[in-house]
């Protein structure tokens, strides 16, 4: 049902003096549904990571116009992936309390609207990056969406390896920013990718443990096992948290930062490891939530430290 038909139908049920208020309220609710479909928090986080990658590749100074175009294209691709994901997962979303209020589940947005927004966003975002930024960024951005929607999303119902596949598009925003500024596929891009790729595992395993009953009820394989009291999830999280310590300092060896960043990276990565050790030993919702919150503080702080140290070295 379109916005116009919804508004017309509801306005007919009220008096003329209330119609203007009703129309405004309905339009506001519909815009809120569209915003929820686009998952703005993820879009903002991805844009921030891409902006950091762009800055790190801009040794001669940031081209602000190019940065703006790049972020617009990358954000559109994130919107596309989020929209198409909700279209494909509308049935499983309805089985989980944390996602049962999404507009696609409740029928406030139609499947055709979801497909339209997802496909148009993907097309416009890809063309924007390909034509106005550079082909490498456009192609990699499109591949990121395809992996997220075409591989990760369906794999969630069949294999716990979905988290590994999903970590690939999750690690791409800083790389896309790096490429958008003219950076090449070198050690620097690899360091940025590795940083985001390895960071994701303790983070998502903590989320998986918190919502384990909902995921199991919906038939989503978000944990390596639902039957071992989380021992395997805790161990895998610990392995990646240990690996994150040396990975966090890779940007220094790629020439992106100096000793100031290394100090910050070691403090933050060991803090992340400490939270993961506690989760591995005590697999409770409290420990998992502490790990999740800590992970959401660790990565932005690490990225900010990297950019600040890069600017210090190049100014």
CA distances from 127 to 28, 49, 120, 131, 170 (A): 30, 21, 11, 6, 21
**Same domain, yes or no: 46 and 19:** no
**Same domain, yes or no: 195 and 127:** no
Tally the domains of the chain: 3
Choosing from 128, 150, 185, the residue where a domain stops is: 185
User: Domain limits at 19?
Assistant: 1-34
**Same domain, yes or no: 180 and 220:** no
Residue 7, pLDDT > 70, answer no
Residue 71, pLDDT > 90, answer yes
**Same domain, yes or no: 143 and 203:** no
**Same domain, yes or no: 132 and 236:** no
Model pTM score: 0.89
pLDDT of residue 3: 45
**Same domain, yes or no: 44 and 22:** no
Choosing from 185, 201, 231, the residue where a domain stops is: 185
**Same domain, yes or no: 110 and 175:** yes
**Same domain, yes or no: 46 and 175:** yes
Give tens-digit pLDDT for 122-178: 999 999 999 999 999 999 999 999 999 999 999 999 999 999 999 999 999 999 999
CATH number of the domain to which 81 belongs = 1.10.357.140
């Amino acid at each position: 049902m379109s916005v116009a038909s919804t508004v017309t139908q509801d306005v007919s049920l009220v008096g003329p003096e209330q119609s203007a208020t009703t129309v405004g309220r309905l339009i506001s609710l519909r815009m809120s549904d569209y915003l929820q479909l686009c998952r703005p928090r993820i879009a903002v986080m991805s844009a921030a990571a891409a902006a950091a990658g762009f800055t790190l590749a801009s040794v001669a100074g940031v081209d602000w116009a190019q940065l703006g175009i790049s972020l617009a294209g990358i954000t559109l691709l994130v919107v596309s992936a989020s929209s198409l994901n909700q279209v494909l997962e509308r049935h499983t979303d309805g089985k989980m309390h944390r996602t049962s209020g999404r507009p696609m589940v409740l029928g406030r947005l139609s499947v055709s609207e979801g497909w339209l927004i997802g496909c148009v966003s993907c097309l416009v975002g890809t063309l924007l990056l390909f034509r106005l930024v550079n082909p490498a960024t456009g192609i990699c951005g499109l591949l990121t969406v395809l992996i997220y929607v075409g591989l990760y999303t369906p794999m969630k119902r069949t294999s716990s390896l979905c988290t590994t596949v999903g970590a690939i598009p999750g690690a791409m925003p800083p790389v896309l920013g790096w490429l958008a500024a003219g950076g090449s596929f070198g050690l620097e891009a690899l360091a940025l990718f590795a940083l985001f790729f390895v960071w994701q595992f303790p983070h998502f395993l903590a989320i998986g443990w918190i919502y384990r009953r909902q995921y199991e009820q919906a038939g989503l394989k978000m944990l390596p096992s639902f039957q071992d009291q989380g021992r395997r999830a805790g161990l895998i999280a610990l392995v990646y948290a240990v690996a994150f310590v040396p990975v966090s300092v890779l940007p220094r060896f790629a020439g992106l930062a100096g000793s100031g960043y290394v100090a910050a990276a070691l403090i933050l990565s060991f803090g992340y490891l400490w939270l993961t050790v506690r989760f591995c030993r005590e697999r409770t919702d409290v420990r998992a939530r502490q790990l999740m919150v800590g992970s959401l503080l660790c990565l932005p702080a690490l990225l900010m430290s990297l950019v600040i140290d890069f600017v210090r070295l190049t100014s």
